[in-house]
């Protein structure tokens, strides 16, 4: 039988597809550093990219989401390019002039990209259940699925947060670091901390404020409860060099597609 976490939407095809948690086109190498799953350990050998794939969508629902994979790839390619330029411009004389690089993204699309990654991460953890519905990993809450397929955006405090702390260095290393965030009483899945190429994001898939939970950033800083609040619906990411703007990513949250 075809396994599909979007089965509640109906219309599943009878063909199983294989889903990569993070689009494999993001990586230039066959193995990446993966940390944070209950089955991975710190400082182990890089894992083959294919280990982060599983059979959790039918072909119909997988192809309905292929646009998100393309945008995910564009996002991280942009980040990589802007970061490389920022480093190069940092070595230029202070008087150098340049044209600021700019790129635009749609906020709800980015949010959907991280919902998709979080659902996939949930499938890789044993016996995980969703907060709110207490359903199995393969059966996410209806509002999460509706948001993923662009039917109805998540409502705050659910949604995407940016979780970089001041002073944290980005190396763009080919890596994925995740933490599943669990409800303090029930251990149910409420969301995930996801760092791709060192860029750190939080996706909250429960209606409880993130300030009740704790995650730790890559440099060990506490995020959420008793720590730095992450930025909800971040609108700009600036890349500076020599005290001047080198690149800017703008994220538009106003365009809501129903
Ligand atoms: Zn399906």
> What is the reported pLDDT for 215?
75
pLDDT band at residue 258 using 50, 70 and 90 as cut-offs: very low
- Cα(19) to centroid(ligand 1), Å: 12
- Cα(56) to centroid(ligand 1), Å: 9
pLDDT band at residue 131 using 50, 70 and 90 as cut-offs: very high
Mean pLDDT in residue range 182-202: 88
- Cα(201) to centroid(ligand 1), Å: 27
Helix (H/G/I), strand (E/B), else coil: 239? strand
Mean pLDDT in residue range 51-65: 93
- Cα(116) to centroid(ligand 1), Å: 14
Beta bridge partners of 178: 194
Query: What does the pLDDT look like over 193-215, one tens digit per residue?
Result: 898 888 889 999 998 887 777 77
- Cα(9) to centroid(ligand 1), Å: 8
> What is the reported pLDDT for 107?
96
- Cα(16) to centroid(ligand 1), Å: 8
- Region class of 191: left (phi > 0), else alpha (psi between -120 and 50), else beta: left
User: How many Cβ atoms are within 10 Å of 242's Cβ, its own excluded?
Assistant: 15
Mean pLDDT in residue range 65-94: 93
> What is the reported pLDDT for 128?
92
Confidence check: pLDDT of 257 > 60: no
- Cα(59) to centroid(ligand 1), Å: 7
Distance between CA 235 and CA 107 in Å, rounded? Answer: 8
Span of 16-30, 55-69, 212-226 with lowest mean pLDDT: 212-226
- Cα(211) to centroid(ligand 1), Å: 34
- Cα(8) to centroid(ligand 1), Å: 8
- Cα(7) to centroid(ligand 1), Å: 5
The answer to whether 20 and 48 are in contact (CB under 8 A) is no
- Cα(142) to centroid(ligand 1), Å: 14
Mean pLDDT in residue range 214-223: 75
Residue 140 or 51, more confident: 140
> What is the reported pLDDT for 256?
56
E-strand ranges in the chain read 16-20, 31-35, 47-48, 53-58, 101-106, 159-162, 175-182, 189-196, 199-204, 214-216, 222-224, 231-232, 236-241, 244-252
Task: State the DSSP H helix or E strand holding residue 139, giving kind and residue range, or none if neither.
Answer: none
- Cα(118) to centroid(ligand 1), Å: 17
Burial class (CB in 10 A: 0-12, 13-18, 19+), 41: exposed
Beta bridge partners of 106: 252
Upper half-sphere CA count for residue 234 (Cβ side, 13 Å): 22
The secondary structure of residue 130, as a DSSP letter, is B
Distance between CA 81 and CA 132 in Å, rounded? Answer: 40
Q: Which of 5-14, 15-24, 173-182 has the highest mean pLDDT?
A: 5-14
């Amino acid at each position: 039988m075809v396994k599909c976490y979007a089965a509640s939407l109906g219309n599943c095809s009878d063909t199983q597809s294989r889903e990569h948690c993070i689009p494999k086109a993001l990586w230039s190498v066959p193995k990446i550093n993966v940390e944070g799953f209950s089955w991975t350990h710190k400082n182990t050998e890089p894992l083959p990219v294919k280990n982060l794939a599983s059979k959790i969508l039918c072909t119909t629902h997988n192809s309905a989401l292929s646009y998100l994979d393309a945008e995910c790839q564009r996002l991280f390619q942009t980040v990589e390019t802007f970061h490389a330029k920022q480093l190069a411009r940092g070595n230029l004389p202070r008087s150098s002039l340049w044209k600021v690089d700019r790129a635009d993204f749609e906020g709800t699309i980015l949010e959907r990209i991280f919902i998709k990654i979080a659902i996939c991460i949930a499938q890789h953890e044993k016996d995980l259940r969703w907060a709110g519905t207490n359903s199995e990993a393969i059966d996410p809450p209806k509002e999460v699925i509706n948001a993923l397929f662009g039917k109805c955006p998540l409502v705050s405090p659910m949604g995407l947060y940016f979780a970089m702390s001041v002073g944290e260095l980005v190396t763009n290393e080919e890596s994925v670091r995740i933490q599943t965030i669990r409800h303090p009483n029930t251990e149910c899945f409420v969301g995930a901390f996801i760092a791709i190429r060192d860029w750190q994001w939080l996706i909250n898939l429960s209606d409880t404020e993130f300030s009740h939970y704790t995650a730790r950033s890559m440099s060990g800083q506490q995020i959420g409860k008793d720590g730095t609040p992450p930025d909800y619906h971040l609108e700009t990411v600036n890349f500076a060099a020599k005290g001047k703007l080198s690149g800017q990513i703008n994220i538009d949250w106003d365009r809501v597609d129903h």
